[in-house]
């Protein structure tokens, strides 16, 4: 996850995501932000696959560790939780 003042870009195994707009963290380190999630697969990507689906990124920041879950809008499907540590390089598998 690469966060800026204007949002965030996320990279997952065989997927990517984004948050367009600032992510507000509450006094307890929690956050909940709207974004998009795009599933990837091997081979060519169809234009409709690049748009992504609406999701909610929710989590908690504790020190240098961020716990993150992804909830698909309009569904009970949730991905995660994922644990991210600032400065630690993640092992991400590309689809292919």
Render pLDDT for 87-96 as a digit per residue (tens, 0 to 9).
Answer: 888 788 777 6
Q: Classify residue 57: in a domain, yes or no.
A: yes
Give the pLDDT of residue 90.
79
E strands present in 1-96: 2-4, 7-12, 15-20, 30-39, 53-62, 65-72, 78-85
| In-domain check, residue 93 | no
Q: pLDDT category, 50, cuts 50, 70, 90?
A: low
Residue 95 lies in a domain: no
- Is 96 contained in some domain? no
**φ and ψ of 33, to 5 deg:** -135, 140
Note whether 71 and 4 are within 8 A (CB): no
Q: Report yes or no on 94 lying in a domain.
A: no
- Cα-atom radius of gyration of the chain, to the nearest Å? 14
List the domain range (segments joined by +) for residue 8.
2-85
Residue 91 covered by a domain: no
Q: How many domains does the chain have?
A: 1
Residue 6 lies in a domain: yes
With respect to residue 90, please indicate whether it lies within any of the assigned structural domains.
no
Which pair of tokens denotes residue 69? 């879950």
Task: Look up the pTM and report it.
Answer: 0.86
């Amino acid at each position: 996850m690469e966060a800026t003042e204007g949002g965030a870009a996320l990279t997952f195994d065989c997927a990517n995501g984004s948050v367009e707009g600032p992510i507000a963290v509450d006094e307890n380190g929690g956050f909940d932000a709207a974004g998009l999630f795009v599933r990837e697969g091997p081979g060519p990507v169809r234009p409709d696959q690049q748009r992504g689906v609406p999701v909610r990124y929710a989590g908690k920041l504790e020190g240098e560790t961020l716990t993150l879950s992804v909830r698909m809008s309009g569904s009970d499907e949730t991905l995660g939780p994922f644990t991210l540590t600032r400065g630690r390089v993640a092992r991400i598998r590309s689809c292919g």
